[in-house]
């Protein structure tokens, strides 16, 4: 929680599968658009919270498969596990609350009497979550009967049906909505309640998110029947909850615009960045823009190459040095020259670049120390460098842009590039 010292301008609390992550989009375009928007506009003063049904193991697996950002807070196992920061430090206070009126053994004993229930994988059985699959046609009856039985055994549980197949049993005080309410209360007690909160989801276990007071909500266009039905019965007159026209992360961007929560211009949507609206010019925006230039250059997605490369050169300090992960040093201008030769070398290939965890610290009146992760997907190889750059402000407040001074790169452990001759910047 160290990073969280000020009230967030926007706190996004988003489900992952079929909300932030579109499993029907192999190119991950809406996710990449969201990432660029977040790092350019929100990372420096807002909070990103992922709230997933997945256990920590399956969550980490998804992060390896998809170009996901690192959230500030991760809520896993349907609101039963809350962790903070990159290190995912657990919230022990939450665990204590969940222990009330909960006895896992009684739950497994009673559920074993239902042949309609098929136990999910071992990884998805958690201290405060017991999960099954159940057929759509049988779900309602089973849930009712199970709830009666557990009540008789003195337990106070919550049974949630999601995705037309998953049945989760949790302590009554758990769930995505309760976990969000807990976080909001915690921030309020610390005197830093978020200015705006936006909850995003697509299935049954997300319904609770939309009944927490003072929270905007978006059900993405591809939301499941069970969520739409819940909405029709419980929240259809609430103007703060919308059913987006767009799928997944594009629906989240749509909601940011709809509720006027800040800029909804993703730099990825602009061929010419001059038209892209930012709430506050900040070094994060420069980093996102720079690497988008770089991606488009290597994909050969740009015309007007000379103007393009000279605008890149204009944002580089002539004396700047880049230290590569191998320890090799080059001037930034040399790097630009190499880049020039690699125009379109990734054309037609699945080549994408995105940045994560952009963190800027001012050093002096017109210089920033900017640390971030640069990810590069080329074919099926995914590499990442942790980069520290000194970035100078041109003119006043960055409105005239920035220039890159020194850049230091280090491989992120486990994501080294095998053949680093094509790692250009």
Where on the chain is the footprint of ligand GLC (CB under 6 A)?
A: 53-54, 58, 78, 120, 124, 131, 162, 166, 168, 205
For ligand GLC, which is the closer residue by CB, 35 or 205? 205
Decide: is 22 part of the binding site for Mg ion (CB under 5 A): no
Rank residues 248 and 339 by Cβ distance to ligand GLC and give the closer one: 248
295 belongs to the binding site for Mg ion (CB under 5 A): no
Instruction: Return the exposure string of 347-383: e unless at least 16 CB atoms fall within 10 Å of the residue's CB, then b.
Output: eeeebbbbbbebebeeeeeebbbbebbbbbbbeeebb
Q: Which is nearer to Mg ion, 158 or 268 (CB)?
A: 158
386, 373 Cβ separation under 8 angstroms: yes
Angle at CA of residue 60, ends 83 and 222, nearest 5°: 95
Q: Which two tokens stand for residue 265?
A: 């211009």
Nearer to ligand GLC, 205 or 315 (CB): 205
DSSP 8-state code for residue 42:
I
Of residues 142 and 223, the one with the C-beta less far from Mg ion: 223
Give the whole-angstrom CA distance, residue 59 versus residue 14.
13
Interface segment toward Mg ion; rule CB under 5 A; list 14-22, 151-159, 183-191, 240-248: 14-22
Separation between Cα atoms, residue 54 and residue 12, nearest integer Å: 18
Instruction: Number of residues interacting with Mg ion: please give it, by CB under 5 A.
Output: 5
- Which residue, 218 or 227, is less far from ligand GLC as judged by CB? 227
Question: What's the full length of the chain, in residues?
Answer: 425
Place of tokens 């790692």: 423
Which of Mg ion, ligand GLC, none interacts with 124 (beta carbon under 5 to 8 A by kind)? ligand GLC
Minimum gap (Å) between residue 60 Cβ and ligand GLC = 12
Question: Which among ligand GLC, Mg ion, none contacts residue 131 (Cβ within 5 to 8 A by kind)?
Answer: ligand GLC
202 is a contact residue toward Mg ion (CB under 5 A): yes
Task: Please tell me the distance from the alpha carbon of residue 109 to that of residue 88, in angstroms, as a whole number.
Answer: 32
Q: Shortest gap between Cβ of 80 and Mg ion (angstroms)? A: 16
Beta strand extents in 69-165 (DSSP E only)? 73-76, 81-84, 89-90, 118-119, 130-133, 157-162
Q: Which residue's Cβ has the minimum distance to ligand GLC?
A: 53
Q: How many CB atoms lie within 10 A of CB 417?
A: 18
Specify whether the CB–CB gap between 200 and 210 falls below 8 A: no
Q: Give the nearest distance from C-beta 59 to ligand GLC in angstroms.
A: 9
The option from Mg ion, ligand GLC, none interacting with 346 (CB < 5 to 8 A, set by class) reads none
CB neighbour list of residue 276: distance below 8 Å, 6 or more residues apart: 265, 266, 267, 269, 270
Do residues 359 and 371 make contact, with C-beta atoms less than 8 angstroms apart? yes
Angstrom distance (rounded) from CA 144 to CA 161? 12
Output the smallest distance, CB 252 to ligand GLC, in A: 19
Task: Please report how close the Cβ of residue 124 comes to ligand GLC at its closest, in angstroms.
Answer: 4
For the bound state, the minimum distance from the C-beta of residue 147 to ligand GLC, rounded and expressed in Å, comes to: 17
- Smallest gap from residue 166 Cβ to ligand GLC (A): 3
Choose one: 12-20, 34-42, 321-329, 380-388; the region binding Mg ion (CB under 5 A): 12-20
Work out what residue 54 binds among Mg ion, ligand GLC, none; the CB cut-off runs from 5 to 8 Å by kind. ligand GLC
Run of H or E residues at 63: helix 56-65
Q: Which residues bind Mg ion (CB under 5 A)?
A: 15, 17-18, 202-203
């Amino acid at each position: 929680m160290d990073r969280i010292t000020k009230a967030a301008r926007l706190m996004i609390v988003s489900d992952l599968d079929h909300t932030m992550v579109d499993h029907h989009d192999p190119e991950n375009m809406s996710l990449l658009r969201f990432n660029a928007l977040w790092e350019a506009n929100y990372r420096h003063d807002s909070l990103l919270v992922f709230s997933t049904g997945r256990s920590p193991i399956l969550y980490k697996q998804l992060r390896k498969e998809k170009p996901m950002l690192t959230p500030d807070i991760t809520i896993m196992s349907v609101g039963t596990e809350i962790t903070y920061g990159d290190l995912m430090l657990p919230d022990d206070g939450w665990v204590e609350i969940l222990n009330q009126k909960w006895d896992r053994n009684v739950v497994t004993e009673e559920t074993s009497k239902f042949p309609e229930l098929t136990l999910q994988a071992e990884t998805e059985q958690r201290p405060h979550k017991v999960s099954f699959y159940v057929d759509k046609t049988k779900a309602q009856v089973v849930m009712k009967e199970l709830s009666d039985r557990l009540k008789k055994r003195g337990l106070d549980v919550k049974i949630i049906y999601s995705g037309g197949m998953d049945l989760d049993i949790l302590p009554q005080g758990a769930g995505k909505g309760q976990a969000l309410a807990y976080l909001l209360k915690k921030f309020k007690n610390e005197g830093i309640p978020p200015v705006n909160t936006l909850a995003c989801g697509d299935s049954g276990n997300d319904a609770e998110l939309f009944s927490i007071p003072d929270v905007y909500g978006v059900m993405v266009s591809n939301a499941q029947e069970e969520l739409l039905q819940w909405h029709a019965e419980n929240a259809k007159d609430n103007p703060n909850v919308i059913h987006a026209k767009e799928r997944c992360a594009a629906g989240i961007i749509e909601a940011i615009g709809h509720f006027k929560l800040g800029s909804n211009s993703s730099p990825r949507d602009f061929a010419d960045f001059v038209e892209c609206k930012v709430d506050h010019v900040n070094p994060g925006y420069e980093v996102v823009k720079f690497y988008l230039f770089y991606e488009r250059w290597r994909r050969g997605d740009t015309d007007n190459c000379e103007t393009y490369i000279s605008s890149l050169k204009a944002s580089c300090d002539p004396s700047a040095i880049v230290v590569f992960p191998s320890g090799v040093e080059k001037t930034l201008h040399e790097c630009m020259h190499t880049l020039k030769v690699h125009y379109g070398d990734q054309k037609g290939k699945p080549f994408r670049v995105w940045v994560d965890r952009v963190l800027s610290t001012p050093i002096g009146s017109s210089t920033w120390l900017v640390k971030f992760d640069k990810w590069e997907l080329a074919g099926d190889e995914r590499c990442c460098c942790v980069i520290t750059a000194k970035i100078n402000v041109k003119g006043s407040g960055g409105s005239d842009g920035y220039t890159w001074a020194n850049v230091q790169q280090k491989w992120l452990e486990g994501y080294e590039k095998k053949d680093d001759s094509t790692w250009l910047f």
